[in-house]
Amino acid sequence: MWVYKRRRRRIRLLIFLFFCIVIVVLLFIRFRLIFITLCKNEIQSVSQQIVNNVVTGKLDVLDKELLQFEKDENGEITFVNSNVIYMNKLANEISIDISKEINELDYLYVDVPIGSLFGSDMLNSVGPDIKIRFIPVGDVETDFKTEFSSTGINQTKHKVFLEIVCEIQALSIVADTLVSTTLRIPIVETVIVVGVPSTYYHLESWRNDDILNVLE
């Protein structure tokens, strides 16, 4: 009888320990997911601030040597030529500066409220915060992109964007996560004017017979 009671106690203890382990694992999984989300938000905010600071420091030279313009006798821009060599050099400089700023960061921190571990919106900000630090390690790619769009019969809008892709790895004791952030910063917008055609047909709604009659 005594052996039977002892065995029952042992079984109950094992069941209790099992449920405790399950609860701890579930709480850690929840904590890990919240940490990754907060970590991504923090990295995106910091990386965007660094990018803005670096690009702002280059604004005085960004639009001066990127493009070469040809104008007609009326002063209208008729031709735009990109300075590809200077663009590549400047993109490389910006990538190096942003990478340096990111990798020189000592630690970043996120605060996870204990109440958020229970999955209730009412408890998301309840309780003390668990402060977790992580180390950001980043790689940056920068490139210039151009875009053309029609703004009328004889006008074309030419835009130059600076596209910056930040790949930042967050290293911590809780989880390692990779955060990718892409920013497109408009640099130059130019309207190119060409000669107005003497005749302009809008043929989209015409039938084939109508077009043949006009040509005849």
pTM: 0.69
Q: What is the pLDDT of residue 213?
A: 44
Residue at 138 is within a domain? yes
Residue at 213 is within a domain? no
What phi and psi, each to the nearest 5 degrees, are found at residue 10?
-65, -40
Q: What is the pLDDT of residue 66?
A: 72
Residue at 159 is within a domain? yes
* Positions in the chain short of pLDDT 50: 197-216
Residue at 216 is within a domain? no
Q: What is the pLDDT of residue 21?
A: 92
Cα–Cα distance, 173 to 162 (Å, whole number): 35
> Domain residues for 97?
2-195
| Tokens describing residue 32 | 């890990």
**CA-based angle 63:167:60, to the nearest 5?**
15
Strands 77-82 and 108-113: what pairing?
unpaired
Residue at 203 is within a domain? no
Residue at 170 is within a domain? yes
Q: What is the pLDDT of residue 17?
A: 92
When divided into structural domains, the chain yields a total of 1
Cβ atoms of 110 and 178 closer than 8 Å: no
Q: What is the pLDDT of residue 116?
A: 76
Q: What is the pLDDT of residue 121?
A: 65
Residue at 200 is within a domain? no
Residue at 35 is within a domain? yes
CA end-to-end span of the chain: 114
Cα–Cα distance, 178 to 39 (Å, whole number): 10
pLDDT one-digit tens code per residue, 126-161: 777 888 888 888 888 888 888 777 776 667 777 888
